[in-house]
Amino acid sequence: MNAEELQALQAVRDYGDARRFFSEVRHAVGRLDAVRHELADVADMLPTSGSGHGSGISKPTEARALWLVCEAPAMAQRLEAERERLEAVIGCGLVLCQMVRDGLGDVYAEVMEAHYVDCMPWADVAESVGYSVPHAKRLGGVACDWIDYKTEGR
């Protein structure tokens, strides 16, 4: 196993099991877009060198100026740290999907990627792989069980 795979399996252990971890992957995918927008909004408000103010603001109020100086940089740092964490979780999820592809086959990985990374509902996942919803869920369950088995060092 390579370092990325070991790191991904450790992430699963940290969450308790594959189902909990992939639930976090799905959450991370949804949250990542919002964090990127928030980062862009904060960056737009921060003064750029030589311009005096971001977003074309001519004279910020005293409270806004205080926020720009004191709070905005800290907020940007928190959001950047969250973005990095979310991207790491998603990256580990993609590594695990590749491990599933290599260990169990394409359809298992396609189910995992579609539901947890692409955030598709189970009905759409089932349609995309040509199985019923219960069968698609079983494939996802088998993949999660296989990942859990791998986290035990087997």
Chunked mean pLDDT (size 10), the chain, 154 residues: 94 96 95 87 64 50 65 83 94 97 97 96 97 98 97 81
DSSP per-residue string spanning 87-153: HHHHHHHHHHHHHHHHHT-HHHHHHHIIIIIS---HHHHHHHHTS-HHHHHHHHHHHHHHHHHHHTT
Tokens of 50: 């030589």
For position 36, what pLDDT does the model report?
A: 87
Q: Which residues, other chains included, contact 7 with Cβ-Cβ below 8 Å and sequence gap of 6+?
A: 92, 95
Residue 35 has a pLDDT of: 87
Q: What is the pLDDT of residue 76?
A: 83
- DSSP letters along 21-61, please? HHHHHHHHHHHHHHHHHHHHHHHHHSPPTTTSSSTT-SS--
Question: What is residue 52's predicted lDDT score, i.e. its pLDDT?
Answer: 47
- pTM over 0.85? The answer is no
Torsion angle (degrees, nearest 10) of CA 59, 63, 68, 69: 110
Owner of token pair 């088998």: 142
